[in-house]
Amino acid sequence: MSTAGRTTDRTTWDELMVARAYLASVIEPPAPALVRFIGRHGAQRAAELVRAGDTPEKVTEEVESRREHVSGEKALEQARESGARLIVPEQPEWPHERFSCFSDATEVGFADMAEPIALWARGTASLGEALERSVAIVGARAASGYGETLAAEFGYGLSDAGFTVASGAAYGIDGAAHRGALATGESTVAYLACGVDRDYPAGHSRLLRAVAERGLVVSEYAPGASPRRHRFLVRNRLIAASGQGAVVVEAGVRSGASNTASTADTLGRPVMAVPGPVTSASSVGCHMMIRSGKAMLVTRTEEVIEVISPIGEAPAVDAAGPARKSDGLDRYAKQLHDALTGSDGSSAEQLARDSGLSLRKVRSLLPALEMAGLATLGEDGWVKNSSNKPR
Amino acid sequence: MSTAGRTTDRTTWDELMVARAYLASVIEPPAPALVRFIGRHGAQRAAELVRAGDTPEKVTEEVESRREHVSGEKALEQARESGARLIVPEQPEWPHERFSCFSDATEVGFADMAEPIALWARGTASLGEALERSVAIVGARAASGYGETLAAEFGYGLSDAGFTVASGAAYGIDGAAHRGALATGESTVAYLACGVDRDYPAGHSRLLRAVAERGLVVSEYAPGASPRRHRFLVRNRLIAASGQGAVVVEAGVRSGASNTASTADTLGRPVMAVPGPVTSASSVGCHMMIRSGKAMLVTRTEEVIEVISPIGEAPAVDAAGPARKSDGLDRYAKQLHDALTGSDGSSAEQLARDSGLSLRKVRSLLPALEMAGLATLGEDGWVKNSSNKPR
């Protein structure tokens, strides 16, 4: 980095922040060429070169239209005024572990998956710590009551199990997931497609305030930036990267949630989808993802944790209830058990005829049924025991 | 076959039916050793040898307890009295194509998958013809309204598309599937776990009558046989084999439907399951099957047909609705489209700054947006067109 002539660390740090703020504002994310350029030169030198117009062609393409029109100082000033701060990769709170997927993806040709140059944030929580154990929960804006209830339950359950919920603060599933997470008193992270000083959507201003108090409201768009359609898609990669896996609670056929899901898949994150009634339009996207193998079907928090946990670390999931005593019997023992009656006693010969089993087989099986508590030899012969519940 | 000394074909045929009726009654199905024994000796000779007690040990095990207590003539007489008939493998209506899966499965060691020795039937339809194109629909007895509605819809839709619905006539999903199929006026096949002369379950006696009128009520248990728990499981293999694929509409954690599903899988039939609300206990089994990869998720009749049809024969399924004009745009065109406003005209320079794209890129993209009907050059500059619906 070009630190020659700087007098104190403080000055250097401030200049780094100004440089990152400038670089983050000069492009419309994602900007893969500029990210690589910064990697080569460091943020401060890269900012100087961009300002001077001294950049390779691909970088020039990304920066030329705004390089003379934006200012890092002004962006930082505007952030301070709105109570926001800048998080940069040079800080320890940058979620390196989660965001390493971006360089992996760009290296194999997914240019749209470039790492953010910096992130603006409302809230004092550490982004890196929040995302240490985390799950992205996304879904339709036009969610059903069923979907919102489930999103809140997954949000609560995962938060309660120690996972930070990352989502997009939209109406419907996103909002319900954040609310569910907030109900545990733990942090949650909301990524916006506009400046963090703008309450978008407007009806979620209280929710966003609550998120910023406990966790973080984050954006790669500078304060003042307006939400635009394509920015939601670009923003989705941050949500996808921020979770160890992504859960889609409800999604229509064409939806932002499906986009986040495929982005998560591109970034190497397991994608999960919650099924719903096949008669519900808001579950169509989830069912399509499961059908095509893009998403795993999940129905409960425990199943999500099982998917995102390293093998052996999550408790095994077993949805089966208590068995009947007769469940463990083999075919012949079941056949014999069915031939017994609860009232009249039967001889072994009668049981053989009735069950179709050989007399030898019947004689060998009866003691086993008795041991299992399923048959008793009474005065009139063998009878079936009434209770078939496990002891 | 041992036909020496027989005078007419008629006599031979009658004797064959008596032999099959005897062999079918002497065992408690499935009876893999006896099936092999019949394959070696023919039904009439096999019946003579069984009656005489002259059988290999494995066959003896299967027949010894009843061989002196049952009569083929009596079974046929009882069937005639109750309006039932016997279908045997020697008849052209035997569904050889569907049932060939049984010998395939027993050959690789699934002894419980032995072919039935004969089938008792109420109804005049040809079983073989009915099962030429067919789907098994199964599910929980304790079905929800959601499940029953869907079972009826799948039953109707598949029947309407020319597929015979095979099921078990139980309360809940089975009954609804049969009813849905009957509503098209086409045939449906119900397999019972007791004699076909018994209306089981009792509340479905009218349904069973309707099934027998249009299609067939079938059982491998002789008239008079009572339903027993293990017989439902044994019967399930006939339902599973009878469809080109099996659809589970609703299933609890431990259910007969899950058993039919794994049997279908054993027999090489594709298994499909319909998802439902994760809050519904009657969908838990379906979700488990989908999660474990045992079943494919299906939501509509068309998807079932796609699964069971030879590749290329089913119409492709596409659940996506009409697209927006802007859906086909690449990332940069979308970015530019988002920077346009519907009211004030913008210059190319303004659009470059606003979108973050280079001026050259903006100039090259604007004509494309105009061609796509998404932008217009007015007196004050470029404006966004209001309609984004496909033409």
* SS3 (DSSP) at A266: helix
Of all residues in chain B, the percent with pLDDT exceeding 90 is 81
B101: its two tokens:
């899966």
Q: What ipTM does the predicted assembly reach?
A: 0.84
The DSSP bridge partners found for residue B247 are B137, B272
Q: Do A275 and B254 touch (CB under 8 A)?
A: no
Average pLDDT for residues B221-245, to the nearest whole number? 96
Nearest-CA neighbor of B231 among B29, B381, B380, B36?
B29
Predicted pLDDT at B10: 77
Structure tokens at B222: 């002789």
The answer to whether B356 contacts A65, with C-beta atoms less than 8 Å apart, is yes
**What is the rounded CA–CA span in Å between residue B43 and residue B49?**
10
CB A250 within 8 A of CB A139: yes
Give yes or no for a contact between B351 and B375, defined as CB atoms under 8 angstroms apart. Answer: no
Check whether B322 has a pLDDT greater than 50. no
**Interface-testing mutation among A66, A194, A287, with chain B (most B C-beta atoms within 10 A):** A287
Strand partners, A346: A382
Collapsed DSSP state (helix, strand, coil) of residue A165: strand
d(CA A319, CA B286): 12
Fold of the B82-308 domain: Rossmann fold (3.40.50)
Chain A residues lying within 8 Å of B288, measured CB to CB:
319
Q: Say what the pLDDT of residue B3 is.
A: 44
* pLDDT over 50 at B120, yes or no: yes
CB A21 within 8 A of CB A72: yes
The residue to which tokens 């390196």 are assigned: A96
DSSP assignments along B154-191, one per residue: HHHHHHHTT-EEEE---TTHHHHHHHHHHTTT--EEEE
Residue B5: both structure tokens together: 């000394």
CB-based burial of residue B117 (10 Å sphere; 0-12 exposed, 13-18 middle, 19+ buried)? Answer: buried
Q: Which residues of B touch A273 (CB under 8 A)?
A: none
Q: Which pLDDT band holds residue B82 (cuts at 50, 70, 90)?
A: very high
Task: Give dist(CA B219, CA B197) in Å, integer.
Answer: 10
pLDDT, position A142: 93
| Domain A325-384, second-level architecture | Orthogonal Bundle (1.10)
pLDDT tens readout for residues B123-147? 999 999 999 999 999 999 999 999 9
User: Which pLDDT belongs to residue B388?
Assistant: 59
Of residues B387 and A205, more confidence is placed in A205
3-state helix, strand, coil in chain B (%, to 5): 50, 10, 40
Give the best residue of B194, B278, B294 to mutate against chain A (max A CB count within 10 A).
Answer: B278
Helices A348-355/A331-339 angle, 10° precision: 110
Residues of B in contact with A300 (CB under 8 A): 278
Q: Which residues in chain B have Cβ-Cβ distances shorter than 8 Å to A283?
A: 275
The CB-side HSE value for B186 (13 A sphere, CA atoms) comes to 23
Task: Please count the residue pairs, one from chain A and one from chain B, whose beta carbons lie less than 8 angstroms apart.
Answer: 144
* Residues β-bridged to residue A135: A165
| Most B CBs within 10 Å, among A113, A230, A232, to test the B interface | A230
How many Cβ atoms from other residues are within 10 Å of residue A60's Cβ? 16
Out of A297, A299, A356, whose CB is closest to B28?
A356
Rounded mean pLDDT of B93-97?
97
Beta strands in B192-339 (DSSP E): 216-219, 246-248, 271-273, 296-297
Q: Cα separation of A334 and A337, whole Å?
A: 5
- Whether residue B391 is predicted with pLDDT greater than 50 in this model: the reply is no
**Would the pLDDT of B372 be above 90?**
no
* Average pLDDT, rounded, for chain B: 92
The residue length of chain B stands at 391
A173: which 2 tokens? 């599933």
Amino acid at B133: R
Tokens of B235: 């019967």
Contact B284 A291 (CB under 8 A): no
- Over chain A (391 residues), the average pLDDT of each successive run of 10 is 54 94 97 97 97 97 96 96 97 96 93 96 97 97 97 98 98 98 97 96 96 97 94 96 98 89 95 97 96 96 94 63 66 89 89 91 90 88 76 41
Report the DSSP beta bridge partners of residue A119. A87
> A297 vs B299: CB contact, 8 Å cut-off?
no
Strand duo B381-384 + B375-378: pairing: antiparallel
Would you state the pLDDT for residue A315? 66
Pairwise CA distance, residues A1 & A38, whole Å:
10
Identify the residue whose tokens are 């006539």. B169
Show me where the domains of chain A are located: 1-80, 82-308, 325-384
- What is the rounded distance in angstroms from the CA atom of residue B90 to the CA atom of residue B13? 10
Mean pLDDT of B273-295: 96
- Residues 6 or more apart in contact with residue A269 via CB below 8 angstroms: A101, A136, A240, A241, A243, A244, A245, A246
Tokens for B98?
A: 């569907």
Query: Do A325-384 and A82-308 fall under one CATH topology?
Result: no
Mean pLDDT of B75-90: 96
